Structure 1
Amino acid sequence: MLRHNLLLFFRNIKKNKNILFINIAGLSTALACVLLIYLWVNDELKVDSFHQNKNRLFQVMMNTPLATGVETEEYTPGLLAKTLNEEMPEVEAATAVIPPQWFDGGQGIASAEDRHFKAVGQFIDEDYFKLFSWKMISGNTSGVLEDKQSIFISEKLANKLFSKPENAIGKTISWERGRFSGIYTVSGVFKDPPENSTHQFEILFNYLLFYEAYEDNLTNWGNSNPSTFVLLKEGVDSKAFDQKIEDLAKEKYRKTVGEKYLEYIGTLFIQPVSERYLYSKFENGVQAGGRITYVKLFSVIAIFMLLIAAINFMNLSTAIASKRMKEIGIKKAVGARQRNIVWQFINESVFIAFLSLCVALLMVAILLPEFNEITGKHLSLSFSAEFILSIILITLFTGLLSGSYPALYLSRFRPVKVLKGTLSSPRGEAWTRKGLVVFQFTVSVVLIVSVLIVYKQIEYTQNKNLGYSKENIISFKKEGKLNENLVSFVNEIRDLPGVAIASSFQHDLVGDSGSTSGVKWDGKKAGERVEFGNIEVDYNLMELLDMQMIAGRTYSEEFGTDKDDKNIILNEEAIKVMGLEDPVGKTITLWGKERQIIGVVKNFHFRSLYEKLGPCMVRFSPEGQNILVKLETGSEEETINRISEAYGAFTGGLPFEYTYLDKDYNRLYIAEQRVSVLSKYFASLAILISCLGLFGLAAYTAERKRKEIGIRKTLGQASSQLTVLLSASFVKLVVLSLVIGLPLAYLIGKNWLSGFAYRIELHPWYFVLAGIITLSIALITISTQAIRAAHKNPVDALREE
């Protein structure tokens, strides 16, 4: 029986080579997309999930009430970890970590002998390795950081500085970065954090160093510096612990600030470390997604791609059913049961699915390098047990889904009617096929509109007037000996040919502006908490960025009081929040010291467009970590070479590494840019697969109506009229899919754009253009077959039988 079924299968393949090609092309393309998405999703889901105690490992977060709503942050009071260890019996261990963001920009220069390399550092305490599963290569964690000057370094850094990890133990490293510059002894070497870790660092310093430098902050419950992580004991209910930690914080805050201001103090809660990457977005204190949104989005796209390809298979299989009616009739007449016929067709579809899988794997192997380039990942096609099982299940599901309806449909034919030739296709079958075509093109329409919306939003973020200029400006860090003579260096490069203007500032303009709520003014309500962006600038920085002054002046060397830290510049939003009239000349209090307002700057975006523009202050500080240089147009390369030479001379030969400010800004939206590119490809492939099915159906319809076409041509009907006749029914289906798909696309687009504080309007032309694209592609697909059929010689069709 098996041999007989295989023989019939290959005969049918030979008779319907075009249909087989379309099925394999559609299924293999869909499976290739699914496999690429599977690799990406699987990688995303595994981020920070490698720690041994991941189910009990949490990060403490803080919701802070502000005048504009609740802000969620990961920085917590410095006393929290110690308090949790001492007062919470549910806690197995808690640790305070000062992440790279607090480390004067995160990077410093690590040197040993004549070798100098940039490295990322963070501060840890003695409980750190009880929570996190970092592997040690040399040294051990039992005597973690034996003294304040002892450090752990990564395998990569040990290889750079000492050729191999074993040589590093006991050796000294010179570290240059801000107040923590000095000589440190290596007491351990750890394996590099894996790529799927959000915690990336190369040096671990003793937390005591940071504690001594910022003791006033770290012993005050009203301030927040470190990130706090907690390992709960087995069996502890995290929800109950959430409430308990909130109550503990309130009690500590009550003793610090008093009952009167308690409502303005932040509340604590915990979030699994394994979820921080995917669920990082909070709105008004409530978890509101993050990268998990894109994981869900592409998972849905993968499912729809499979459905579209499976629908092609169903449609084409049922459409050519008439060619297999006699085969089924004879089988039933000689005693074959319905389930035998069902399994025959299911087996055929599963075989085609696995054949398509082979083609799909080849496509993935070819496309994976380009896919990695787009996604910024290092995915590989490794045939692990998990991957093999996954692709087998996906393919098996695809084969069963694709073959289920045709198998049930074909196995229901009654043998008497089949053999007499009186069997006609039921109306329900035609409607089912039409419904499936509508579904395919509805999905395609939604994807096309989504691509347009994402593209236009990204274009909007890149072209929006931010309140400052970012073109032709390079940015680089103050490093090495520049920490001692920054002013001299900036003055020297200002005089270089090709340099329009140069300056320095603290923090950055692409998301990390720093912030403070320590501002008071006349008329401020008691306990009211308003968060101000905190930009620290040198002379000429505001002129370099072309910031516009509304009132007053900028910082200038012409005035002798700027360095006394007695002046302040505020943006329009700050003046609005404070309710000040004629603000220039008035005073506010910042961290307990009076400041005179010398100017008001026009609002500028110092954070991403996800966030609404808030109040901001611009303070004078000539020792910022970031140096900006505006280049004159036309000689950028020569000017950068000159700056590089000057940089090397001042730093003792450190490599000059810079970025363009506009590229730094665009990196804020790298996730959206990647989504835009991937969506464009997936939308193109979805409509391609849909059109493959439409092409096959149109070809089959033209073949089935060849005698009718021949008679109509003999009676004088024009080829153009026949083309319209053959195309009309399919065009109606595509138009119906537009009617359904465009409103759906509008709702989806509106929901996605709601995540941006500043966004595009959903113009009607987006939807009109998507409709035109979809209809045009469908018409081209259908008309090629319709025109071909209409121009055939009618004699050939009428001569048959």
Structure 2
Amino acid sequence: MNKKENTSVPGFPLKLLRWFCKPEYLPDIEGDLVQLYYRRAESVGRRRAHLLLIRDVLLLCRPGLVRSSDLFRRNKNITAMLTHNLTVSFRSFARHKTTFAINVIGLSSGLMCVLLIGLWVQHELAVDRFHEHDSRLYQVMNNLQFQNTLTLDITPVPLASALVAEFPEVERAVATNNFFSWETRDGILSAGDKSIQGTGWHAGPDFFKVFSFRLLQGDVNRVLTDKNSIVISEETARRLFPNSSDAIGKSVQWKHPLFEGTFLVSGVFENLPATSSAQFDFLLSMEVLLDNDRYAAKWTGDYAQTFVLLKEGADVNQFDAKLKGFLKSKDPGLDKFSLFSQRYSERYLHGNYVNGIPSGGRIDNVRLFSALALFILLIACVNFINLSTAEGSLRMKEIGVKKTMGASQWLMVHRFFVESLVMTLISAVVAVILVVLITPHLNDLVGRDLLSEIEPRHIVGLGGIVLLTAIIAGAYPATHLSRFKPVAVLKGKLAESRGQWTFRRSLVVFQFALVVVFLVAVQVIHQQIEFTQTKDLGYNRYNIISFPWKGKLYNMWNGLGEGKTNQEFESFMARIRDLPPVLHATNLSGNILDNIPGQSGITWSGQESERNYVFQSPVVGFDFIETLGIEMREGRTFAKERHDDYSKVILNESAVKLMGLRNPVGKTIDLNGGSEVVGVVRDFHYGSLHETVQPLIFRCDPNGRTVMVKIRPGQEQQAINELHKVYATFLPGYTFDATFMDDEYLALYAPETSMASLSKYLSMVAIIISCLGLFGLAAFAADRRMKEISIRKVFGSTPTDIVRVLSREFTVPVLVAIVLGLPISFYLAKEWLSGFAERIDLAWWHFALAAIVALVVSWLAVALKTIKAARVSVLRGLREE
């Protein structure tokens, strides 16, 4: 009973049922639905039970259960008026086929863009917001203070328990191992004769109380309390055990590069949703990490990510103020670290930081794409408004007669709103069909199946968008046309005012100003992407394959210092170097493109300032310089025959310049107790071009887990096949996850590449819709000026003269749009390029080409109709009324 009290039935579905259901059936049906909801909430969860309740209510909406409508029985005129307006609307569509086609194409294109982008945006906004305590769930972040503030998500393992013990605001806290501790979260899970590769996390006992990942089997209070237990996903259980529903208590072997063990399954959790940024196949106790790494329990370690669940009503600002210097109170050596909290569900969208403060991230793309979709829809609505008001004169007699017969202005507004709504509904159907056809081609671009994520609430959202579009598109035409005076209309004295003429051309200006902005954006984005792909980075990224070594390596915590390698790994590296397609092979820790560790506390002879600097400090193996083709300025590279280790370093030119070293080779810097500079490399642009080249110090250590192989040109596939065979020989059961370095480099610009593709498509849509609008206006203008055209031809005007006269009316608004659009596009392009340290220069032809294209396509759109009008015979034109 207590569970039912805590699981309240959603009100909206029941209100909907009470609204349409006949009173004699309502009590029994409602009672059955409520009982069914409670049973479902216990078995499948509240969220799914809520959706199933909505489905059941909608299925009950059928003739035998729906009550008769008193509204329509009391006022049959409403039904008659609605039927009449629908009939008149469809007749109008049939009479004006060109205008109807233009409006449907424009509105359906705009709605299609809104739906496609809307599906992507709703997924981005929903990430990590499914947790029951979302508003109180925070992640502890860590600011490292040096010459710049570096924001990290790594914290010491003991922090979680200390926060619960010492902070009254904290209800619960949990630590998980971070992505960088233990170098990998991947390993092999085995049960009987079945083995799979899985990704595992170490987590504290309150993990399932802090996060709302649902346990299908097991006790939430006990699943992670025993360090010999393991909690697996339902998919992992299905793959390991014949009967996945009976996995509790079964034995699982875990093989990891740093430890192996046998664990008993204590729980099975539901497969993680696509809207979860955290993805893992199983959980082990945090005690396992502490037992296998002697440094993990220290406050100076950075092995964990820490998440806290604050108590109801807790003041986050006060919590952050107390949290700021907490690490220093535990260890004075941590005085440069400053903690703060960030709401967990905001981390995904707000993942960029400036001086330790969240500043943008994925949310910037969400806002940008949403604005682009809205602008495209507005362009389509502008077409509808323009054509509807332009054709007002064709409807004047209809309006005059109806008003003379007693129709009020409200009824006329209703008439045109019905037409707008019907047009939008037809366009929405076409848009949905286009979305279904186009989405499979866009799934690769956005990295997910958009259609698979559609939920009932999206149908409601589509209805809201359709209604809003109908209001935006139909509001002005309805109010404008309904204000016509019947006397002036019937006498034929109603002429278009200068205000109406200016309004329509202002809409054309708005359309083509956006077209100009899109055209400039397409050029600038594509040129910058091409620049990033062709720029000389100072190393050769082509024909290089990288993959992780998932076997054992020697590490500091097992008592063997740097410079010593595992014999198995040495044999593996020797085997791949002997492969015919391989030119060079090396290894490193992390990734040279986006995961370079930093090193602080470095001093050198002649240092003029006591300021502490952070150097980029990749840890690389032998032959690294040769594999990437980095140019040596002085000295030599790391060599195995010279027994190079952590005591040897190589600087880049920026580091030499910062240190002010003359003849740096042979000098010693204070790094790890003293390191000799053996070489200097030319500055090369590691990472993306968003960042400038920073001072860099290469450290030598053959224990890097990322293997990089330089392949002979033209032998890439052969090399992959042979590397795969060698890998499988040394590491049976592990997947060979090889990627080309060039592909990894291009992935650094995935948001910009997506933006380039999106801007190209949206520009095409914007141009097509705008040109269709101009074509419709030109067609209407030509029809209205048919007599004028004929008279001009009688007095000797040529078809060319006629085309020039008719085109002039639309050329001026387009020129004004160009004048307004160019400075806007210049500002936006400059702002976007400012995010790149290395970028193209804006050239005059970027804007000149956009202006010329906008002008030419507008002329072509108008010419299609004006040329036809100029060729009409004089007699036919004079007969037109």
**Post-superposition shift, 1:524?**
4.9
- Return the alpha-carbon distance in structure 2 between the equivalents of residues 248 and 205 of structure 1: 28
Q: Name the SS of the counterpart of 1:672 in structure 2.
A: helix
Matched, 1:202 2:273: no
Q: Name the SS of the counterpart of 2:714 in structure 1.
A: coil
**Post-superposition shift, 1:730?**
1.1
- Structure 1 equivalent of residue 119 of structure 2: 39
Q: Is the 8 A contact 2:203 2:283 kept in 1?
A: yes
- Return the alpha-carbon distance in structure 2 between the equivalents of residues 643 and 249 of structure 1: 46
With normalisation by structure 1, the TM-score equals 0.94
Matched, 1:696 2:776: yes
- Structure 2 equivalent of residue 274 of structure 1: 345
In structure 2, relative to structure 1, the CA distance for the partners of 1:167 and 1:287 (3 Å cut) is same
In structure 2, relative to structure 1, the CA distance for the partners of 1:16 and 1:89 (3 Å cut) is same
Q: Is the 8 A contact 1:137 1:191 kept in 2?
A: yes
Matched, 1:242 2:320: yes
Q: How does 1:3-402 map to 2 (within 5 A)?
A: 3-67=83-147, 69-216=148-295, 218-221=297-300, 223-249=301-327, 251-252=329-330, 255-256=332-333, 262=335, 265-380=336-451, 384-402=455-473
Matched, 1:500 2:583: yes
**Post-superposition shift, 1:349?**
0.8
Q: Which amino acid aligns with 1:198?
A: S
Q: Which amino acid aligns with 1:283?
A: V
- Return the alpha-carbon distance in structure 1 between the equivalents of residues 327 and 730 of structure 2: 48
In structure 2, relative to structure 1, the CA distance for the partners of 1:152 and 1:8 (3 Å cut) is closer
- Structure 1 equivalent of residue 712 of structure 2: 632
**Post-superposition shift, 1:144?**
3.3
Q: Name the SS of the counterpart of 1:185 in structure 2.
A: strand
Q: Name the SS of the counterpart of 1:468 in structure 2.
A: coil
In structure 2, relative to structure 1, the CA distance for the partners of 1:103 and 1:795 (3 Å cut) is farther
- Structure 1 equivalent of residue 550 of structure 2: 479
- Tell which deviates more after alignment, 190-199 or 576-585: 576-585
**Post-superposition shift, 1:122?**
1.9
- Return the alpha-carbon distance in structure 2 between the equivalents of residues 51 and 527 of structure 1: 47
- Structure 1 equivalent of residue 648 of structure 2: 567
**Post-superposition shift, 1:79?**
3.3
- Tell which deviates more after alignment, 629-638 or 83-92: 629-638
For structure 1, the residue ranges without an aligned partner over 5 or more in a row are: none
Match of residue 533, structure 1, among 594, 611, 616: 616
- Structure 1 equivalent of residue 76 of structure 2: none
- Structure 1 equivalent of residue 832 of structure 2: 752
Q: Which amino acid aligns with 1:401?
A: I
Matched, 1:644 2:724: yes
Q: Which amino acid aligns with 1:27?
A: L
In structure 2, relative to structure 1, the CA distance for the partners of 1:367 and 1:797 (3 Å cut) is same
Q: How does 1:667-682 map to 2 (within 5 A)?
A: 667-682=747-762
Q: Name the SS of the counterpart of 1:320 in structure 2.
A: helix
Q: Is the 8 A contact 2:516 2:854 kept in 1?
A: yes
Q: Is the 8 A contact 2:208 2:214 kept in 1?
A: no
Q: Which amino acid aligns with 1:269?
A: F
**Post-superposition shift, 1:294?**
0.9
- Tell which deviates more after alignment, 654-663 or 536-545: 654-663
- Return the alpha-carbon distance in structure 2 between the equivalents of residues 5 and 355 of structure 1: 16
Matched, 1:683 2:683: no
Q: Which amino acid aligns with 1:203?
A: F
**Post-superposition shift, 1:296?**
0.7
In structure 2, relative to structure 1, the CA distance for the partners of 1:589 and 1:608 (3 Å cut) is same
With normalisation by structure 2, the TM-score equals 0.86
- Return the alpha-carbon distance in structure 1 between the equivalents of residues 247 and 685 of structure 2: 45
CA deviations on 1:26-64 (whole Å, 9 max, x unpaired) are 111111111111111111100011111010000111222
Q: Which amino acid aligns with 1:232?
A: L
Q: Is the 8 A contact 1:568 1:617 kept in 2?
A: yes
Q: Name the SS of the counterpart of 2:448 in structure 1.
A: coil
Q: How many residues align?
A: 789
**Post-superposition shift, 1:250?**
5.0
Q: How does 1:766-785 map to 2 (within 5 A)?
A: 766-785=846-865
**Post-superposition shift, 1:481?**
7.0
Q: Name the SS of the counterpart of 2:617 in structure 1.
A: strand
Q: Which amino acid aligns with 1:196?
A: T
Q: Name the SS of the counterpart of 2:768 in structure 1.
A: helix
- Structure 2 equivalent of residue 422 of structure 1: 493
Q: Which amino acid aligns with 1:639?
A: A
**Post-superposition shift, 1:407?**
1.3
Q: Name the SS of the counterpart of 2:684 in structure 1.
A: coil
Q: Is the 8 A contact 1:571 1:603 kept in 2?
A: yes
For structure 2, the residue ranges without an aligned partner over 5 or more in a row are: 1-79, 554-565
Q: How does 1:439-478 map to 2 (within 5 A)?
A: 439-478=510-549
- Tell which deviates more after alignment, 449-458 or 477-486: 477-486
Q: Which amino acid aligns with 1:586?
A: K
Q: Is the 8 A contact 1:103 1:122 kept in 2?
A: no
Q: Is the 8 A contact 1:25 1:356 kept in 2?
A: yes
- Return the alpha-carbon distance in structure 2 between the equivalents of residues 133 and 612 of structure 1: 41
- Return the alpha-carbon distance in structure 1 between the equivalents of residues 449 and 204 of structure 2: 32
In structure 2, relative to structure 1, the CA distance for the partners of 1:128 and 1:299 (3 Å cut) is same
- Return the alpha-carbon distance in structure 2 between the equivalents of residues 484 and 206 of structure 1: 31
CA deviations on 1:248-288 (whole Å, 9 max, x unpaired) are 345445x446xxxx4xx122211111100100011222222
- Return the alpha-carbon distance in structure 2 between the equivalents of residues 399 and 800 of structure 1: 34
- Return the alpha-carbon distance in structure 2 between the equivalents of residues 199 and 8 of structure 1: 56
Q: Name the SS of the counterpart of 2:829 in structure 1.
A: helix
Matched, 1:729 2:809: yes
In structure 2, relative to structure 1, the CA distance for the partners of 1:225 and 1:480 (3 Å cut) is closer
- Return the alpha-carbon distance in structure 1 between the equivalents of residues 229 and 651 of structure 2: 43
In structure 2, relative to structure 1, the CA distance for the partners of 1:157 and 1:525 (3 Å cut) is farther
Q: Percent identity?
A: 42
Q: Is the 8 A contact 2:251 2:263 kept in 1?
A: yes
In structure 2, relative to structure 1, the CA distance for the partners of 1:377 and 1:161 (3 Å cut) is same
Q: Which amino acid aligns with 2:285?
A: N
Q: Is the 8 A contact 2:620 2:702 kept in 1?
A: yes
- Return the alpha-carbon distance in structure 2 between the equivalents of residues 356 and 191 of structure 1: 40
In structure 2, relative to structure 1, the CA distance for the partners of 1:75 and 1:654 (3 Å cut) is closer
Q: Name the SS of the counterpart of 1:187 in structure 2.
A: strand
In structure 2, relative to structure 1, the CA distance for the partners of 1:181 and 1:666 (3 Å cut) is farther
In structure 2, relative to structure 1, the CA distance for the partners of 1:566 and 1:250 (3 Å cut) is closer
Considering only aligned residues, what root-mean-square deviation do their CA atoms show, in Å?
2.2
- Return the alpha-carbon distance in structure 2 between the equivalents of residues 481 and 214 of structure 1: 14
Q: Name the SS of the counterpart of 2:445 in structure 1.
A: helix
CA deviations on 1:543-596 (whole Å, 9 max, x unpaired) are 01001111111012342x314x321112222223333222211112223x2111
**Post-superposition shift, 1:523?**
4.7
Match of residue 869, structure 2, among 783, 789, 794: 789
Q: Which amino acid aligns with 1:566?
A: S
- Return the alpha-carbon distance in structure 2 between the equivalents of residues 652 and 670 of structure 1: 33
Q: Name the SS of the counterpart of 1:350 in structure 2.
A: helix
In structure 2, relative to structure 1, the CA distance for the partners of 1:706 and 1:159 (3 Å cut) is same
Matched, 1:554 2:632: no
- Return the alpha-carbon distance in structure 1 between the equivalents of residues 848 and 196 of structure 2: 55
In structure 2, relative to structure 1, the CA distance for the partners of 1:228 and 1:527 (3 Å cut) is farther
Q: Name the SS of the counterpart of 1:55 in structure 2.
A: helix
Matched, 1:596 2:679: no
Q: Is the 8 A contact 1:313 1:402 kept in 2?
A: yes
Q: Is the 8 A contact 1:444 1:687 kept in 2?
A: yes
Q: Name the SS of the counterpart of 1:21 in structure 2.
A: helix
- Return the alpha-carbon distance in structure 2 between the equivalents of residues 427 and 718 of structure 1: 29
- Return the alpha-carbon distance in structure 2 between the equivalents of residues 558 and 309 of structure 1: 70
